Amino acid sequence: MPELPEVEVLCHHLAPLLQGRVIRAVEVRRKKILAPTSEAKFRRALTGARFLTLERRGKYLVFTLRPPAAVGGDPFLLVGHLGMTGRLYLAKKSAPLPKHTAVVFDFGARRLVFEDPRAFGRMTLDASALDKLGPEPLSDAFTPAAFAAALRRSSQAVKVKLLDQSLVSGVGNIYASESLFRARISPRLAARRLKSAQVHRLWQTLRDVLGEAIAWGSTLPLQFDGGTSGGLFYFGRDPGAPDHDHERLLVYDRDGQPCVACGAPLRRIVQAARSTFFCPRCQR
DNA sequence: AACGCCGCCTGATCGC
DNA sequence: TGCGATCAGGCGGCGT
């Protein structure tokens, strides 16, 4: 499940590899991924276009492209989201495409593959989702004061509220639980009931947890030749590689295991139809 | 305006 | 052993 840190690492590695590349051909295998953009419009806009920049916004990938010279016009945005199971990688053209390939950009010897088994992801020309995003948690725009003001307006449990992308962008189910554990705040506490010291702790731990996850992800070997997906360059995890997430995360997916801080058994509860993991003793 | 709920998807896992 | 039911979850849309 890619959240802000995973998308950041992907973006960091992929940006220099895409810059300047021209899309020779576009293949769409799952139209739903483009929604609400039509396949015709998508192909028309992207065939012959050149990648200029790639940036992350929340959990979104924001590509800037220049239309082909024959068409002209200003640079435009292509917006990607990996959803639950999306993967994006640059591969040799000879490498087989995965079963749930959604979109392929042909560059000649290589191609950019967007694959997504559950199809919760998006690759679209509609950038409107970006307008609804709250501040970047690692930016100066994300201040304790603004965070506190937003929390005060909500009666929802703080864990649920952290998943609201209009509050702060990029936090998903994993880092919401991890941050609350580190801040020693109960996930069930109503957002508006947090004391000012708790708000400040949560503000700080959010930044710490996300920053550390980026640093951790940056150490992973993301480039390989001959992995299970056959990519020359691979981003978004090799499905055949061991997953070390479990060693790094302190509470996520650790129902019943001892808390690293106090030894009490960690618990799993369900909030807004999503799993929350926490220590009932450390987090009041 | 804020909130709760549903639908979208498929692979993994569970129970019989 | 095989198969159907259940679960997981980000986000948009909708009703309240």
pLDDT tens column, A229-247: 434 444 544 544 545 566 7
Both tokens of A263, joined, read: 């030894």
Instruction: Using the structure, give the distance in angstroms from the CA atom of A153 to the C1' atom of C3, rounded to a whole number.
Output: 49
How far is the C-alpha of A246 from the C-alpha of A262, rounded, in Å? 19
pLDDT less than 50: residues of chain A: 224-234, 236-237, 239-240, 242
Q: Nearest Cα to A251, choosing from A197, A185, A166, A154?
A: A185
How far is the C-alpha of A10 from the C-alpha of A140, rounded, in Å? 22
Give me the pLDDT at residue A208, please. 96
Rounded to the nearest 10°, the torsion over CA A58, A61, A64, A65 is -160
Q: Give nucleotides in strand C with any atom < 7 A to a protein C-beta.
A: 8-13
For chain A, give the percent of residues with pLDDT over 70. Answer: 90
- Residues near A183 by Cβ (< 8 Å), separated by ≥ 6? A198, A201, A202, A204, A205
CB-count exposure of residue A112 (10 Å: 0-12, 13-18, 19+): buried
Among all strands, which nt has the closest C1' to A274 (CA)? C9
Residue with tokens 């390989």: A224
How far is the C-alpha of A14 from the C-alpha of A91, rounded, in Å? 12
For residue A160, say whether its CB is under 7 Å from any atom of strand B: yes
Give A61-70's long-range contacts (Cβ < 8 A, gap of 24+).
Answer: A61/A7, A61/A10, A61/A11, A61/A88, A62/A127, A62/A130, A63/A18, A65/A23, A68/A22
Give me the pLDDT at residue A71, please. 87
Single out the catalytic residue among A29, A193, A268, A274: A274
pTM assigned to the model:
0.92
Give me the pLDDT at residue A220, please. 66
Give me the pLDDT at residue A246, please. 67
- Is residue A3 flagged as an active site residue? yes
Among all strands, which nt has the closest C1' to A157 (CA)? B3
Give me the pLDDT at residue A221, please. 60
Query: Which residue type is seen at A162?
Result: L
CB-count exposure of residue A176 (10 Å: 0-12, 13-18, 19+): buried
Are the beta carbons of A125 and A47 closer than 8 angstroms? no
Are the beta carbons of A124 and A35 closer than 8 angstroms? yes
Residue A247 has φ and ψ, to the nearest 5°, of: -75, -30
- Is residue A2 flagged as an active site residue? yes
Residue with tokens 């499940």: A1
Give me the pLDDT at residue A224, please. 45
Rounded to the nearest 10°, the torsion over CA A84, A48, A16, A8 is -20
Give me the pLDDT at residue A234, please. 47
For residue A155, say whether its CB is under 7 Å from any atom of strand B: yes
- Is residue A136 flagged as an active site residue? no
Between the alpha carbon of residue A61 and those of residues A3, A20, A93, A94, the distances in Å are 11, 17, 23, 26
SS3 per-residue string spanning A11-32? HHHHHHHHCCCECCEEEECCHH
